[in-house]
């Protein structure tokens, strides 16, 4: 019960204040399955060379996860720059590619939004790399990672950001790459 109470306090505080922290992940290049059943490598095929926003969901979730899906829907509407959206299942024993596709359809994902699942050990590596690991899916926090492999800037964002707020984080993360491109001409 104490764990639940502590998680609730963190969740409420993070949700109200939208806390953000910078960090440097060691992103694993583990195999994952997309919502279409295609086997890809997490780093090589999804992250490498891209600006990404990553969230952590599971299809049986009725609280946090639909809100995280809505955040990505709003980001798709707000985002003027290319950013790859990746939703990682934190319950891969239940979340098959088909279940992810059905769950994701509610949010009208565009072509740059990928839902992934895989072996529990591989998903755990991803979760740990991003500081989002939990042994119980129901205890996970609303964390959205925004980072750029090109700029090396990575943020861990707690809470529920609006589309414009999340787009601003993406712009800050990717802005360094644009300045570098302009400065090198």
- CA 173, CA 32: separation in Å to the nearest integer? 25
Rounded Cα–Cα distance for residues 43 and 52 (Å): 11
**pLDDT for the residue 80:** 53
Given this model, what pLDDT does residue 175 score?
A: 83
Residue 90 near residue 140 (C-beta atoms within 8 A): yes
> What is the distance between the alpha carbons of residues 85 and 76, in angstroms, rounded to a whole number?
9
Q: For domain 2-183, which CATH number applies: 3.30.200.20, 3.40.47.10, 3.20.20.70, 3.40.30.10?
A: 3.40.30.10
**Running along the chain, 185 residues long, what does each successive block of 10 average in pLDDT?**
47 52 92 98 97 96 95 84 91 97 96 97 97 88 94 94 89 68 41
Which pLDDT does position 18 carry in this prediction? 59
Is-contact 72 55, C-beta < 8 A?
A: yes
* Residue 138: both structure tokens together: 């129901």
- Give me the residue spans of the domains in the chain: 2-183
| Beta carbons within 10 angstroms of residue 57's beta carbon | 26
- pTM, whole model, 2 decimals? 0.85
């Amino acid at each position: 019960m104490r764990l639940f109470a502590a998680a609730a306090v963190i969740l409420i505080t993070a949700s109200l204040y939208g806390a953000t922290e910078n960090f440097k992940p060691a992103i694993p290049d583990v195999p994952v399955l997309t919502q279409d059943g295609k086997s890809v490598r997490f780093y090589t095929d999804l992250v490498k060379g891209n600006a990404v926003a990553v969230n952590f969901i599971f299809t049986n979730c009725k609280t946090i996860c639909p809100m995280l899906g809505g955040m990505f829907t709003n980001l798709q509407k707000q985002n003027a720059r290319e950013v790859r959206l990746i939703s990682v299942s934190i319950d891969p024993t239940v979340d098959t590619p088909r279940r992810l596709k059905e769950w994701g359809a509610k949010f009208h994902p565009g072509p740059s939004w990928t839902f992934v699942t895989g072996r529990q050990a591989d998903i755990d590596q991803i979760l740990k790399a991003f500081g989002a690991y939990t042994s119980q899916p129901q205890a996970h926090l609303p964390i959205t990672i925004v980072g750029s492999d090109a700029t090396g800037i990575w943020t861990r964002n707690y809470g529920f950001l609006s589309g414009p707020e999340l787009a601003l984080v993406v712009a800050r993360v990717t802005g360094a790459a644009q300045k570098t491109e302009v400065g090198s001409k």
